[in-house]
């Protein structure tokens, strides 16, 4: 057992856990941060998608021992603060289009969408159909068409 420290949603946290415990369980079971969801633990469903240093990743597939004290982990709970608002433009788009059904996949969908748009913007281009086709997040309720619509709207309202 070791003490691990990292920046979680803007705050430095430390937690005792074996090195190989995947970050998802550290977040959910030890720190009580339940926005990232479990859907497979296999880096497949993407329900756990969160950000590390501003980029999307799957905490179900990262041992906590791989996380450095300076790493910034952002879960859905910390997303609004990254733009200094109560809601991130992507969350607002999700509300406007009424994307969620059961909602279980949606924290992961939104985190994946934000990273995707940031990546496209950094490359100086718009979101394409191929980008949207490449999103791996499963939505078993089948909200996919509204997700596509919301990403386009959210992208338009995200800073360049």
Partner 1 sequence: MVGYLIAAPTVVAAARFGLVTEQAKAAGLPTVQPVDHYDLSDILTEAALPTMGLLKVTVNPDGSASFDLPRAEVGQGITTACAMTIADEMELPVEKVHVTLADARPELVWNQLTGGSNSMHALYEPLRVAAAVARGQLVQAAADELDVLASQLSVKAGVITAPGGRTLSFADLAQKAAVTKTTAVTPKLKASSAQTVVGSDQRRIDALEAVTGRKQFAMDLQVPNALPTMLCRPPTINGHAVSVQNLADVKAMPGVTDVAIVEHNQFVQGGVAVRAKTFGQCIDAVRALKVTWAPGPVDGKSADDVAADLKKNELPLTPKLPGTTIEEVFTFHFRPGDPLETNCAVADVRSGSAEIWSSLKSPIWAKEQIATSLGIPPDKTTVHVTQGGGSFGRHLFCDAAFEAAWISKQLGKPVKLMWHRTDNFRHGRVHPMTTSRVRITHAGGNVLSFDQRHTCVATDFTQGIGDLLTSMDQSLPKQNSLQFSQTVFMLTANVPYNFGAVTQLLNEIYDFNTFNTSSVRNVYSPNVTTATELMVDRLAQSMGKDPLALRREFVRDDRLAAVLEKAASAGSWGRPMPAGTAQGIAIHKEYKGASACLVEIDCRPATVNRKVRDAYTGPRVTKVTHVVDVGLPINPLGIRAQIMGGIMDGIAQVLSYGLHLEKGAYLEGSWDNAFYTRQWNVPPEVNVIVMPPTTGKAGGVGEFGVGTSMAAVACAYGRATGKTPTSFPINHDGPLGFEPYPTSPPIPQSPTNGLENVS
| Footprint on residues 102-141 left by partner 1 (CB under 8 A) | 102-107, 110, 115-116, 119, 129, 132-141
Strands (E) in 25-122, as ranges, are 50-52, 55-57, 72-74
Q: Which does 121 bind (CB under 5 to 8 A by kind): partner 1, ligand FES, none?
A: none
Is residue 46 within 8 A of residue 108, CB to CB? The reply is yes
Report how far residue 100's alpha carbon sits from residue 21's, in angstroms, rounded to the nearest whole number. 30
One DSSP character per residue, 9-49 reads TTEEEEEEE-TTSBHHHIIIIIS---SSPPS-SSSSS-TT-
In the set 76, 113, 117, 139, which binds ligand FES (CB under 6 A)? 139
Of 4, 7, 8, 46, the one binding ligand FES (CB under 6 A) is: 46
Reading the block at residue 90, the tokens are 């992507």
Q: How many residues bind ligand FES (CB under 6 A)?
A: 24
Report the nearest approach of partner 1 to the CB of residue 29 (Å).
Answer: 4
Choices 5-13, 25-33, 100-108, 152-160 (CB under 6 A): range interacting with ligand FES: 100-108
Give the C-alpha separation, 55 to 118, whole Å.
9
Asked if 73 is part of the footprint of partner 1 (rule: CB under 8 A), the reply reads: no
Residues making contact with ligand FES (CB under 6 A):
38-48, 58, 60, 100-106, 139-141, 143
């Amino acid at each position: 057992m070791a003490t691990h420290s990292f920046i979680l949603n803007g705050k430095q946290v430390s937690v005792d856990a074996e090195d190989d415990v995947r970050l998802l369980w550290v977040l959910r079971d030890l720190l009580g941060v339940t926005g990232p969801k479990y859907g497979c633990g296999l880096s497949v469903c993407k329900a756990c998608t969160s950000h590390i240093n501003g980029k999307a990743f799957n905490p179900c597939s990262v041992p906590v021992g791989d996380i450095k004290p300076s790493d910034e982990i952002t879960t859905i709970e910390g997303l609004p603060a990254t733009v200094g608002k109560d809601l991130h433009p992507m969350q607002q788009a999700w509300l406007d289009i009424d994307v969620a059904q059961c909602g279980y996949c949606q924290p992961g969908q939104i985190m994946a969408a934000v990273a995707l748009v940031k990546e496209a913007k950094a490359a100086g281009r718009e979101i394409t159909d191929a980008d949207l086709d490449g999103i791996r997040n499963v939505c078993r309720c089948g909200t996919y068409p509204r997700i596509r619509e919301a990403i386009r709207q959210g992208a338009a309202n995200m800073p360049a």
